[in-house]
Structure 1
Amino acid sequence: MSDVFKSVNELDTKDVKWIDARFSLQDSELGRKKFEEGHIKEALYWHLENDLSDMTKKAGRHPLPAKESLTLLFRKSGLELDDQIFIYDDGGSPFAARAWWILQYGGFKNSFILQEGFEELAAMGVPVSKSTDPSVPSNVVPVWDDSIFATREFVEKTVEGKTGNVLLDARSAERYRGEVEPIDPIAGRIPGALNFDWEQLKKDGSFNLSDTVGEQLSEIVKHDEGIVVYCGSGVTAAPLFAMLKQTGYEHVKLYVGSYSDWISREFVEVAKG
């Protein structure tokens, strides 16, 4: 079992780096506005679409930036590989998990998703500031962990039964079955995928770290299986990836392009029902 989600009460908050990942899919600048109104002291702000996605790519709705771009982000943020990094959003949201996954991908293994959202952290007495002083840049060289990244080609081979992996769809059951599709132009799922709605990971607005979630996951996927998680655009699948790691699953990959990338080519096969 890995420590992924942490309560600030469990952590020594001295000599740490804070990352604020608040965001709204309905208002892309809301998270930045909240950051400017107040954030954890010395926190950096990482924007889902400007920092954690490359919106110029045609690989789904929130494509992963190139390694070169992520390296610049890490350096601009003043990060070192051995830094202890705490990431927060509004609590029970997928955005801190997206930032955490990218840090894991880059080799920053001492990074954690905070259980508490910003308002709860502030109420607990964690120092808050409106100052946005820039970080001292670093020259960090990421150690990329490609084992947690699933390419489209890997997913295609998985659909063909050639990788031994299981696809796990993090969207709602209705979207998984293709009954509704509020965002993408084609309803359905990647053929062969199983389903675990990421909303089931939460209880009372926070991620549920009780044994209950682990038991629910084990009813869908086995601990010794290779698992590829996806959602609509690689965002809400990130907390599912994180919870799988939290509950002891070792062989997990994230298909960042997700369903929106899967349906981006002509004559693509989807499943319904």
Structure 2
Amino acid sequence: MTDVFKSADDLSEGYYKLIDARFSLGDPEAGRKAFEEGHIAGAVYWDLEKDMSDMDSDRGRHPMPSRAQLTELFRRSGLSLDDRILIYDGGGEPFAARAYFLLRYGGFRHTFILKEGFDGLRTAGYPVDAEPCRPQVSDVEPDWQAHLLASREDVKGVSEGREEGVLIDARAAERFLGKHEPLDPVAGHIPGARNFDWTRLKKEGYFDTGEAVEQLLRKTADKDEKVTVYCGSGVTAAPLFAMLDHIGQEDLRLYVGSYSDWVSDPDNPVEKESD
């Protein structure tokens, strides 16, 4: 098991660099406003759409940033590959997990998600202030972990049986089955995918790292399977990626473009419950 998720009351002594990833899909400015009103002292802010996505790309609703964009983000955040990095959002949300995936992709070796989020750290006595954090810019050279990132072509290979592996869709069952689709132009899922609603990873509002969640995940994917996770736009699949990483899934990828990228190509097939 890899130690990905940490609780505020079991943080080991020592220094962490902090990333505040609070965000609201319903109000894209809410996270930054919350950060400016008060954040854990020393934290830098990563915005889902301005920092952790390339919104000028046409590869889905929250496309993957380029390596150049990520390198710039890592450097202006003052990060080095050996830093211990603790990421928080509001707790039980997908945004810290998105940051976790990007850091893992960049080769950062000691990156963690705080289960209880901002309030957990504040309650544990970490100081809160509204001062902007301006870390010293680093010259970090990312150690790209390309095997963690799945392209549309990779996913097509798995879906068509030309490439070994399984696809896991992290959306709610109604969207997976094509019964309800509020965001994308075509309802359904990538052919052959399995479904595991990412919200099943939570208990009482926070991510649950107990044996029960591991058992649920193992009913969906065996430890030795090559797993590619996706969702609607690559955001809510990130907690599923992080939890599978936490329980030791050895061959694991994230399709950041996800379903929104898949259906942007009208030639790509989809499955629905009625199919």
* TM-score in terms of structure 1 length: 0.98
> 1:82 corresponds to which residue?
82
| Alignment partner, residue 24 of structure 1 | 24
Alpha-carbon distance between aligned partners in 2 of 1:21 and 1:209, rounded to the nearest angstrom: 20
Corresponding residue for 2:114? Answer: 114
Which structure 2 residues correspond to residues 40-59 of structure 1 after superposition, within 5 A? 40-59=40-59
State the secondary structure of the residue aligned to 2:18: strand
User: Following TM superposition, where does structure 1 have runs of at least 4 consecutive aligned residues deviating by more than 3 angstroms?
Assistant: none
Tell me if structure 1 keeps the 8 A contact 2:9–2:124. Answer: no
What residue in structure 2 maps to residue 212 of structure 1?
Answer: 212
Residue identity opposite 2:41 in structure 1: K
Are 1:270 and 2:255 matched, yes or no? Answer: no
Deviations 1:234-271 (A, max 9, x none): 00000000111111211110000000000001222000
Quote the residue 2:177 is aligned against. 177
Q: Deviations over 1:148-200 (max 9, x none)?
A: 11011100111111111100000000000000001111100000000000000
Secondary structure of the corresponding residue to residue 31 of structure 1: helix
Question: Structure 2-normalised TM-score?
Answer: 0.98
Matches within 5 A, 1:2-151: 2-12=2-12, 14-151=14-151
Partner of 2:198: 198
How far residue 134 of structure 1 moved from its aligned partner, in angstroms, is 1.1
Deviations along 1:190-214, one digit per CA (max 9) or x if unpaired, are 0000000000000001001110011
- Whole-angstrom distance in 1 between the partners of 2:144 and 2:133: 28
SS of equivalent to 2:113 = strand
Q: In structure 1, how many angstroms separate the alpha carbons of the residues matched to 2:109 and 2:238?
A: 16
TM superposition shift of 1:129: 1.0
2: CA distance, partners of 1:89 / 1:268? 34
1-structure distance, mates of 2:205, 2:9:
18
> What letter matches 2:7 in structure 1?
S
Separation in 2 of the partners of 1:259 and 1:13? Answer: 41
Per the TM alignment, residue 22 of structure 1 is displaced from its structure 2 partner at its CA by: 0.2
The 1:42–1:13 alpha-carbon spacing in structure 2 relative to 1, beyond 3 Å, is farther
Matched letter for residue 53 of structure 2: S
Tell me whether 151-160 or 223-232 shows the greater mean CA deviation.
151-160
Return closer, same or farther for 1:261/1:13 CA change in 2, 3 Å cut-off: farther
Cα drift, residue 10 of structure 1: 2.2
Q: Which runs of 5+ in 1 are unaligned?
A: none
The size of the alignment, in residue pairs, is: 273
Point out where structure 2 has 5 or more consecutive residues left out of the alignment: none
Task: Return 121-130 or 98-107, whichever deviates more.
Answer: 121-130
Question: 2:189 corresponds to which residue?
Answer: 189
In the TM superposition, residue 120 of structure 1 has moved relative to its aligned partner by 2.4
Q: Per the alignment, in what secondary structure is the counterpart of residue 34 of structure 2?
A: helix
3-state DSSP of counterpart to 1:199:
helix
Q: Alpha-carbon deviation of 1:84?
A: 0.4
The alpha-carbon deviation at position 13 of structure 1 amounts to 5.3
Residue matched to 1:261: 261
State the secondary structure of the residue aligned to 2:220: coil
CA distance in 2, matches of 1:68, 1:13: 34
Q: CA RMSD in A?
A: 0.9
Distance in 2, Cα, partners of 1:228 & 1:264 = 19
Q: Secondary structure at the match of 1:111?
A: strand
Residue type at the aligned position of 1:102: L
